Amino acid sequence: MQLNNDAIVEFLNTLDNESKALKREALRISWYMRGGVPYDHAILLSAEERLMAKQIIEENLEITKESGLPFF
């Protein structure tokens, strides 16, 4: 399969955006876990593990809102 220059640039841009999204997600997990999950460990999580962590974070945020307790 051969790609023209525009298709290659588009593909590389897609990979770059996906890479940035993964880094952002790993940083967010590390931040919410207050460093309990270091960034270098969060970056190695599988997509399924990141999704699970995100769900747990969202559940805990909701519980915190409902309880009226401060999150920070």
State the pTM of this model: 0.77
CA of 19: how far to CAs of 12, 15, 32, 41, 61, in Å?
A: 10, 6, 20, 16, 26
**pLDDT (tens digit, 9 = 90+) per residue, 12-54?**
999 999 999 999 999 999 999 988 999 999 999 999 999 999 9
**pLDDT exceeds cutoff 80 at 9:** yes
**Where does the pLDDT of residue 69 fall: very low under 50, low under 70, confident under 90, or very high at 90 and above?**
confident
Residue type at position 59: E
